[in-house]
Structure 1
């Protein structure tokens, strides 16, 4: 679906079950509304799921699981925290979370951008993959839980470790990049060697990497109103897969 004119509406989620609330959103989409302000959101699931087109969502409150799943094009700003599974298998669009996000953000995403200002939970970016000319990007401004980028097959994860409520925790949890066989994870500062998945190693970024990082950081900083220069004042390391078949030696050839 392609939309060309802006038509705005405010919807109040107070006390409304998620199914009814999503039905209302889709009714308003069919009526030609493109810009949505959702207020008093409190755990309603599947917001903007599977929407295709140039839609904008400003969400006040904490959305529930699978916000933005399977979507292709919308832009979502969450002015609070977000629960698990945001951007699940999304193809395109942008999700910006001004607080924390839960587990499995960006699961199997194939395109678009997810920007999170603070910390995230476990298995963020699991099964991410590049799809045709789409390059999915996840930026975590804080720290990440275990299994960041697990089985990653494509795309970019940028882990900053700056805006965190866990000052004494490592920048990422255990098994960082376990099983990854494509894509790249960039870490601001030093990657935690003792947290890396089997067979992985970190190395300094080169000039081409820095061009990519600078472009992403500038967009991230613009969306979240943070200082790009401060983010870029520290060096970065990158983690790439050592093989496109990391567990190939586990199987007996036939």
Structure 2
């Protein structure tokens, strides 16, 4: 394993240094806002201590990035495969346009998490948010899964306003005591079925493996599924009709 000290190193030089390392296991310490760490990376395990800046893991192609701290905006932007694990909170637009891979967030997510995320052939993107999410979660979602566990929310609705606006694929699963109301017309809401619960179980177990908690206890609570309303979508924006 190779260890790199970020400190005050400019983000461009830091990324060049990381890319030049032959080792497949890299630890980056004392990160203080450097951007684009791990962009396009494949076949590596990158451990980050500190607060990475915007664009962590953009276009990720199979590496695992684990952050011990918070992360800023656009985590996993347009990522293809791999895992991003954040022991903290993330900023806005997490998973923007992601096409595959998984993002696990111990705490909260800012606005527009999962905007434009999509699935393609064998690629299936997943975002798991342990706390709550800001407004416009899953905006224009076209595929994949967003799972919001609402830990520390005492059963309250764990997302902000306009959840699922314009969604036309995929699903959002929320852990809360009552069915959400006031959702955009593009969204249908229903209690999670057994098949839905079976589908989220592996991600719950993975979340608990990273951050602690008991998956069985979480799974035993109430979940609601948000899915696209086929009769109320923004059809003029779509290029495909089933």
Classify the TM-score, shorter chain.
over 0.9
Q: Deviations 1:73-128 (Å, cap 9, x if unpaired)?
A: 01111111000000000000000111110000000000000000111110000000
Distance in 1 (CA, whole Å) between partners of 2:109 and 2:9 is 27
Offset at 1:225?
Answer: 2.5
- Which of 109, 121, 124 is the equivalent residue of 2:113? 124
Task: Please name the residue that 1:102 is paired with.
Answer: 91
Distance in 1 (CA, whole Å) between partners of 2:179 and 2:45 is 35
Kept in 1, the 8 Å contact 2:166–2:186? The answer is: no
TM-score normalized by the length of structure 1: 0.88
2:10 is equivalent to residue 17 of structure 1: yes
Distance in 2 (CA, whole Å) between partners of 1:68 and 1:226 is 26
Kept in 1, the 8 Å contact 2:167–2:186? The answer is: no
Q: What count of residue pairs does the alignment treat as equivalent?
A: 237
Offset at 1:51?
Answer: 1.2
- Which of 58, 61, 71 is the equivalent residue of 1:82? 71
Kept in 1, the 8 Å contact 2:37–2:55? The answer is: yes
Distance in 2 (CA, whole Å) between partners of 1:111 and 1:250 is 22
Offset at 1:169?
Answer: 7.8
Task: Please name the residue that 1:138 is paired with.
Answer: 127
Task: Please name the residue that 2:32 is paired with.
Answer: 42
TM-score normalized by the length of structure 2: 0.93
Structure 2 residue ranges without an equivalent (≥5) = none
What stretches of structure 1 move > 3 A for 4+ residues in a row?
A: 167-170
The verdict on how the C-alpha distance between 1:205 and 1:83 changes in structure 2, with shifts beyond 3 A counting, is same
Kept in 1, the 8 Å contact 2:186–2:232? The answer is: no
Structure 1 residue ranges without an equivalent (≥5) = 1-7
Distance in 1 (CA, whole Å) between partners of 2:117 and 2:95 is 7
Distance in 1 (CA, whole Å) between partners of 2:236 and 2:32 is 47
